[in-house]
């Protein structure tokens, strides 16, 4: 499977591609077009974001963290956050430890 070929940037919603889900891990990518928003939400389990393509604003606790290709960000548990695409195509990997 090629993640970038599976990611659809034409829709109104973020493009989610499931890579692996087991009782121990949930691994998936999210694709955002420019200015597209992954709406505010929380995670109740540890999660790591790895930016594969583009640049995004990670908005959390009133601050904006700009993430670029290759950046890794540990998402805090039970803290509301959102992600906004800054480039034409933005793709990040999420690893959730179940």
Per-residue pLDDT of the chain (98 residues; tens, 9 = 90+): 999 999 999 999 999 999 999 999 999 999 999 999 999 999 999 999 999 999 999 999 999 999 999 999 999 999 999 999 999 999 999 999 88
Which CATH number do you get for residue 83? 2.60.120.10
Backbone angles phi, psi at 50, to 5 degrees: -125, 115
Give CB contacts under 8 A, 24+ apart, made by 59-68.
59/83, 59/84, 67/92
The domain of 63 spans 3-97
Give the span between the Cα atoms of 2 and 4, in whole angstroms: 6
How many structural domains are present in the chain? 1
What's residue 81's pLDDT? 98
Assessment of whether the complete model's pTM goes beyond 0.85: yes
């Amino acid at each position: 499977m090629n993640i970038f070929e599976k990611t659809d940037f034409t829709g109104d919603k973020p493009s989610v591609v499931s890579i692996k889900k087991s009782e121990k891990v949930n691994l998936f990518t999210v694709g955002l077009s420019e200015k597209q928003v992954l709406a505010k939400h929380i995670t109740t389990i540890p999660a790591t974001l790895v930016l594969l393509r583009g640049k995004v604003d990670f908005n959390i606790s009133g601050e904006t963290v700009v993430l670029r290709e290759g950046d890794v960000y540990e998402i805090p548990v039970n803290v509301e956050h959102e992600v906004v695409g800054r480039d034409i195509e933005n793709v990040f990997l999420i690893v959730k430890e179940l």
